[in-house]
């Protein structure tokens, strides 16, 4: 799906929200549905038929217009807006990741989402020294014109936001904009927005964050920035997941070294062994990212994702569906491998994968890999 033309009508925006709020429709299937049917409204009309063709005994419930209008009214009352991927204030680097969220809810400054950004993450149980360093590094980087992006968690995230609140910071939530987590950071969210920063989420209003929503939040944190700085992190932590995602996206990864005796330094020291950029002062980050930010290059460093043209693809035949399903299993494989293995056209394979996605049988992984989930 190429970026839609800026300036969706109110009806189109309503249809986009209905489609992305439909169960089993994620960013990848949303893209393929628009690619196949040309509009969100037509895709909504075709969803029941697609799911039944894929063998689903029950069709997921599509939100009706009144539900989405209620969410839009709730957003307006909250001072929030919905940003679609073709809108001018959609974060430019996020647009270039695999399967970017088609719609973001946002509150706060519009211009800050267009600024080049550095993400700062780290331990929730951060040390005093770690929080001071995160705040000072964020402040110094922010003074050079960069937005600081983080996930509004306790510890390092909170310190990064507070250090850059005067220069501009973006908080990313795992739940709805009205459901900040941890709850004590609700005041910080309001403070960020009032200082020209922004709070964003891809989840609906009223959505209470679950454990599986935080990796999605981490993906946005990594995708919105040129580079990611990890200040403190244990060997098994969400911060390392974010660092891995950033590396897979081609972002620079920075890490602050720590004592081998401190478990909170285990993850950062491991990142340094794996090639992260050693960081002890803001200049280490600024010097590394400066060559990437000449002119407007931060807006178009990576090519937009290409996908098979599904606009004229005929509905898959049953034998084609079976060939794709038999090629899949619990181990993630590249879509190109499925195409080679089955001998089918890319559009045919993509249509079968779309059907499987819509009935909850497909899991998508980084790097364009997919795997099959057991029948429910």
The confidence band for 298, taking pLDDT boundaries of 50, 70 and 90, is very low
State both tokens at 87: 């809108």
Q: Are 289 and 213 members of one domain? A: yes
E strands, the chain, where?
80-84, 103-108, 117-121, 147-150, 169-172, 198-201, 227-230, 252-255, 277-278, 333-334, 362-365, 369-372
pLDDT score at 342: 92
Q: Answer yes or no: are the C-beta atoms of 139 and 163 closer than 8 Å.
A: yes
In a domain, residue 268? The reply is yes
Do residue 262 and residue 328 come from a single domain? no
The answer, yes or no, to whether residue 301 has pLDDT greater than 50, is: no
| Shared domain check, 329 and 186 | no
Q: Kindly state whether residue 241 falls inside one of the protein's structural domains.
A: yes
Residue 193 within any structural domain of the chain:
yes
Among residues 262, 279, 257, the alpha carbon closest in space to that of 127 is found at 262
The per-residue pLDDT for range 78-106, each reduced to its tens digit, is 999 999 998 988 999 999 998 899 999 99
User: Please, which residues have CB within 8 angstroms of residue 192's CB and are 6 or more apart in sequence?
Assistant: 108, 161, 165, 169, 170, 171, 198, 199
Same domain, 215 and 334: no
**Which residues make beta-bridge pairs with 370?**
333, 364
Please tell me the predicted confidence (pLDDT) of residue 297.
35
Residue 2 has a pLDDT of: 42
Residues 261 and 356 both lie in one domain: no
Q: Is 335 part of a structural domain of the chain?
A: yes
Res. 312: pLDDT tops 80: no
Q: What's the token pair of residue 135? A: 């705040």
Residue 177 lies in a domain: yes
pLDDT, one tens digit per residue, over 131-179 is 999 999 999 999 999 999 999 999 999 999 999 999 999 999 999 999 9
The pLDDT of residue 326: 92
Domain CATH for 343: 1.10.10.10
Q: What is the pLDDT of residues 20-55, one digit of tens each?
A: 999 999 999 999 999 899 999 999 999 988 888 877
In whole numbers, what is the pLDDT of the chain averaged over residues? 90
Q: Give the pLDDT band (50/70/90) at residue 307.
A: low
pLDDT at 305 over 90: no
In a domain, 312, yes or no: no
Q: Is the pTM of this model over 0.85?
A: yes
CATH code of residue 222: 3.40.50.450
- Max alpha carbon distance in the chain (Å)? 61
On the question of a cis peptide bond just before residue 356, with omega within 30 degrees of 0, the verdict is no
* Residue partners of 142: CB distance under 8 A and separation at least 6: 148, 163, 164, 166, 167, 168, 169
Q: Is the pLDDT confidence value at 5 over 60?
A: no
What DSSP state is assigned to residue 259?
-
**The tokens 């709850």 sit on which residue?**
183
Give 286-291's long-range contacts (Cβ < 8 A, gap of 24+).
286/141, 286/144, 288/227, 288/252, 288/254, 289/116, 289/118, 289/146, 289/226, 289/227, 289/252
User: Are residues 249 and 353 both part of a single domain?
Assistant: no
Residues 338 and 272 grouped into a single domain: no
Q: What pLDDT score does 57 carry?
A: 74
pLDDT value of residue 52:
85
pLDDT score recorded for residue 53: 81
Same domain? 257 vs 355: no
Starting at the edge strand found earlier in the chain, the sheet holding 198-201 runs 80-84, 103-108, 198-201, 169-172, 147-150, 117-121, 227-230, 252-255, 277-278
- Split at pLDDT 50, 70, 90, the class of 294 is low
What contacts 188, CB < 8 A, 6 or more positions away?
A: 152, 158, 161, 162, 171
Q: Are residues 268 and 359 in the same domain?
A: no
What is the distance between the alpha carbons of residues 344 and 167, in angstroms, rounded to a whole number?
52
Residue ending a domain, among 260, 293, 326, is 293
- Count of CA atoms in the C-beta half-sphere (13 A) of 87: 23
Q: What is the mean pLDDT of residues 346-366?
A: 89
How buried is residue 250: exposed, middle or buried, by Cβ count under 10 Å (0-12/13-18/19+)?
A: exposed
Instruction: List residues bridging with 349 in a β-sheet.
Output: none
Considering the domain architecture, whether residues 238 and 367 belong to the same structural domain is answered as: no
Same domain, 235 and 365: no
* DSSP secondary structure code for residue 291 in this structure: G
In a domain, 81, yes or no: no
Number of separate domains in the chain:
2
Q: What is the pLDDT of residues 188-237, one digit of tens each?
A: 999 999 999 999 999 999 999 999 999 999 999 999 999 999 999 999 89
Alpha carbons 94 and 113: distance in angstroms, whole number: 10
pLDDT at 308: 64
Domain that holds residue 225: 113-197+207-293
**Tokens read off for 141:** 């980087």
Considering the domain architecture, whether residues 275 and 137 belong to the same structural domain is answered as yes
User: Is there a domain that residue 87 lies in?
Assistant: no
Q: Residue 271: is its pLDDT beyond 60?
A: yes
- When pLDDT is averaged across residues 6-18 and rounded to a whole number, the result is 86
- pLDDT band of 72, cuts 50, 70, 90: very high
Average pLDDT for 274-283 = 97
């Amino acid at each position: 799906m190429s970026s839609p033309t800026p300036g969706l009508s109110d009806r189109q925006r309503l249809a986009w929200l209905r489609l992305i709020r439909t169960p089993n429709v994620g960013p990848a299937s949303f893209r393929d549905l628009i690619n196949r049917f040309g509009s969100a409204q037509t895709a909504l009309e075709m969803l029941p038929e697609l799911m039944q063709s894929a063998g689903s005994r029950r069709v997921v419930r599509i939100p009706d217009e009144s539900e989405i209008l209620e969410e839009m009214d709730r957003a307006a009352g909250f001072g929030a807006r919905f940003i679609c991927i073709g809108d001018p204030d959609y974060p430019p680097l996020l647009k270039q990741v695999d399967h970017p969220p088609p719609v973001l809810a946002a509150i706060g400054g519009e211009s800050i989402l267009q600024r080049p950004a550095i993400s700062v993450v780290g331990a929730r149980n951060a040390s005093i020294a770690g929080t001071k360093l995160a705040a000072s590094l964020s402040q110094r980087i922010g003074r050079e014109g960069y937005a600081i992006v983080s996930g509004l968690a306790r510890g390092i995230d909170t310190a990064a936001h507070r250090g850059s609140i005067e220069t501009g910071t973006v908080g990313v939530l795992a739940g709805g904009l009205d459901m900040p987590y941890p709850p004590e950071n609700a005041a910080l969210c309001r403070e960020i927005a009032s200082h020209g920063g922004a709070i964003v989420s891809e989840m609906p209003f009223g959505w209470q964050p679950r454990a599986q929503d935080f990796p999605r939040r981490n993906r946005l944190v990594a995708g919105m920035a040129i580079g990611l700085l990890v200040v403190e992190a244990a060997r098994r932590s969400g911060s390392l997941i974010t660092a891995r995602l950033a590396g897979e996206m081609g972002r620079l990864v920075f890490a602050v070294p720590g004592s081998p005796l401190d478990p909170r330094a285990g993850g950062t020291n491991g990142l340094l062994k794996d090639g992260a950029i050693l960081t002890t002062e803001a200049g280490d980050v600024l010097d590394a990212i400066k060559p990437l930010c000449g002119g407007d290059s931060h807006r178009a460093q990576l090519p937009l994702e290409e996908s098979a043209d599904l606009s004229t693809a005929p509905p898959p035949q049953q034998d084609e569906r079976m060939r794709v399903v038999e090629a899949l299993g619990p181990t993630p494989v590249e879509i190109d491998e499925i195409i080679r293995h089955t001998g089918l056209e890319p559009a045919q394979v993509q249509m079968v994968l779309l059907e499987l996605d819509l009935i909850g049988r497909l899991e998508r992984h980084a790097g364009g890999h997919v795997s099959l989930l057991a029948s429910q």
